[in-house]
Amino acid sequence: MDIREAEMKAPLQRVWDGMIPIELQLAAADAIELLASAVLPEPFQTFYLLVPRVSYFPFITQKIKEWWLNPMFALSGGVPGHRNAEIKDADIWFEYRGQPLKWHYPVGLLYDMLVARGSRGEPELPWALTLHVRKFPVGKLVAGSGVQNMRDMFMAMIKESDFIRNGSTKRVMDLSKDDQMQFLDGLQKHEFEKYSAIHAIIVPSPNDVRPMTAAAKNGGGRPGPKAIPLKFYMETAGAEESAAKDPAALPDINMFHVSQFPVPLTNKDKEGEPTTVADAFRLCYEISDQGGDAFVTSRACLSQGIAVPWETPISWLAENLYYADCFLHLVVVEVSERI
Amino acid sequence: MSESATSSPAPTSAAGSAAVTGKQPNKIVVRFKSIGNAPILKKSVYKISSTQRFQALIMFLRKELGYKVSEPLFVYVNSAFSPAPDETVYNLVRCFGLDSQLTINYATTPAWG
C-alpha cells in the first residue's frame, strides 16, 4: 500500500491499524518453574509482537503461546503433557516495571497512561513488558482474565456505550447471535471488515455517504446521539506530587482517577455551541468555568496517543478516535515537564 | 478482590485548584431487584458510598443473600449489562442511574448475554 492509499483510509480504520510494538520477557520465577532455569534457551529469550492499540491483552495470549511458549517447551525437550508446563489462560498476566496491567483496558489506553505520560521525551518503544503465567495478582487485577471473560466484558462495555449514546441498549441487544459473534471475532482476530460491518449497525456514521432518502433530506433523518460515551483518566494529586519530587518516578495506574459522564453534544451554557474537550472535562469533574481554564491549560489530553487540543469538539473526537468499545478514553496528564 | 484494590483515590481536584469544586455526593441510593429464582432481599434499597467500586456492591449483595463466592450470582445494571468490577458506583449512577438511583438486577443464572 502506498502512502496516498493509507491517507485515504477512513479515520476509523487508521485508528484500528494503530499498533504498539511489545518486547516480552518471561518472568524469571515462572521460567524456573516451567523450565528449571531462569535463562530461556536461544532463540526464545525475548519475544516481539505488534499489538493493536484497540485490542486487549487476553486476545494476544493465544499467539504468545503458539509462537513462543509452546515451541520453546517443545525444543527444550519438554515432555508432552508435562504437568509443570501447563499454562491456564486465566493465570496469564502482563507487568510493566512492577505494575500488573489491567487486562480489561485497551492496550493503547494502558500505553498512554503509563508510557506516553511518563516519557518526558522519547516514548519507550518497543514497550518492554514481563509476561507472567503463574501467581495471578489477586486483588490488583479483576479476576478471570482469559478470552471468554474478555469477550463477555467487552459485550458489557459496548452495551454501556450504547446506553449512553442512545438511552437504551437496544442496538446491541437487537444484534443477531451471528452478528455478535462476528463483531467479537473481528475484534479478537483484529479483522477490520468483520468488526466494522457490525460497528456500522451499532454506531451509524453521521457522515455516511450512502444516498440519502427523501425523509433524511427533509431533516427527518437519523436522530443524533443523546450523549457521547467517554471516560477521563486523570492522575491524582498524590501521583503529581511524587512525579514532581522524582521526575523519573514511574506512573502508577492506581493513582489515576477514572471519571465517566454522559456528555451532551452541545454546550447548554454557550448557546448550543459544540461541546469541546475542555467543556467535557469540566462537566465530568464538575469544575466551575473560571478556574477551569487554568486547570486544563496546565494539562494535556491524550487520545489514541495523540495530544488533542482542548478546544476540539467532542463529537468530532467521538467519530474519529474512539476505541473498539465505542468509548472515548481520554488520559489527562500534567504538561509542565513534557513537550 | 481485596478492599485495598477496591478503594478509589481522590481526584486531583480535591487537593488541586481552588476553582475545582467537589460536588460528588457521599452516598448513592441503590435498589436491588431479583430476577427469576434469585431470592428477594428483605430490604431492597440501600445507601452505599459513592467512592465504592462495583465489586464492593457485589460483595455486599452476596453477604445479604448469604451466598458463598463459589455460588453463581450474576449482577446487572439496568437489566442490561455487568459493569467492570473496578468501576466506581458514582460513575455508574451518573451514566446509568435514574433520579440519582442505581438499579441493580441479580440472578442465579445468566439473564442477559
Domains of chain B: residue spans and CATH: 25-107 (3.10.20.90)
What is the predicted pLDDT for the residue at A271? Answer: 79
Q: Are A144 and A90 in contact (CB under 8 A)?
A: yes
Residues B89-110, mean pLDDT to the nearest whole number: 94
- Using the Cβ of B4 and the Cβ atoms of chain A, whether some distance falls under 8 Å is answered with yes
Distance CA(A136)–CA(A139), nearest Å, equals 9
How high is the mean pLDDT of chain B? 82
Using a CB-CB distance cutoff of 8 angstroms, which residues of chain A are in contact with residue B4? 139
> pLDDT at position A223, please?
64
Q: How far apart are CA A225 and CA A300, in angstroms?
A: 27
* Beta pairing class for A299-303 and A99-100: unpaired
pLDDT at A245: 67
ipTM for this model: 0.85
pLDDT of the residue at B90: 94
Report pLDDT for A185.
98
What pLDDT does A42 receive? 87
Domains assigned to chain A: 16-142 (3.10.20.620), 148-204 (1.10.246.190), 230-334 (3.10.20.90)
Provide mean pLDDT across the span B9-14. Answer: 41
Contact yes or no for B84 and A285 at CB 8 A:
no
Share of chain B above pLDDT 70, in %: 79
**A157, A254, A258 ranked by CB distance to B91: nearest:** A258
- Tell me which residue in B4, B81, B94 faces A169 most closely, judged by beta carbons: B81
d(CA A207, CA A167): 22
pLDDT digit string, tens, across residues B13-62? 333 332 334 567 889 999 999 999 899 999 999 999 999 999 999 999 99
Classified as helix, coil or strand, B111 is coil
Asked if B20's CB is within 8 angstroms of A287's CB, the reply is yes
Neighbours of A178 (CB within 10 A): 9
State the angle between helix axes of B54-65 and B89-96 in degrees (0 to 180), rounded to the nearest 10: 100
Please state, in angstroms and rounded to a whole number, the distance separating the CA atoms of residues A286 and B94.
12
Which residues of A are less than 8 Å from B113 in CB distance?
152, 155, 180
- Does residue B110 contact residue B76 with C-beta atoms inside 8 Å? no
pLDDT by residue for chain A (339 residues), tens only, comes to 556 665 667 788 899 999 999 999 999 999 988 888 888 888 999 999 999 999 999 999 999 999 999 888 888 766 545 556 688 899 999 999 999 999 999 999 999 999 876 555 678 899 999 999 999 999 899 988 899 999 999 999 999 999 999 999 999 999 999 999 999 999 999 999 999 999 999 998 765 434 444 444 444 445 678 999 999 999 876 666 666 666 666 778 888 899 999 999 998 777 789 999 999 999 998 887 666 677 788 888 999 999 999 999 999 999 889 999 999 999 998 875 544
Distance CA A254, CA A236 (A): 9
* A96, A127 Cβ separation under 8 angstroms: yes
DSSP per position, A83-111: STT---GGG-EEEETTEEPPTTS-HHHHH
Which residues of chain B have a CB within 8 Å of the CB of A154? none
* Exposed e or buried b per residue across B42-76, where buried means at least 16 C-beta atoms within 10 angstroms of its C-beta: eeeebebebbbbbbbbbbbbbeebebeeeeebbbb
Compute CA distances B49 → A233, B8, B25, B42, B105, whole Å.
Answer: 21, 11, 8, 21, 19
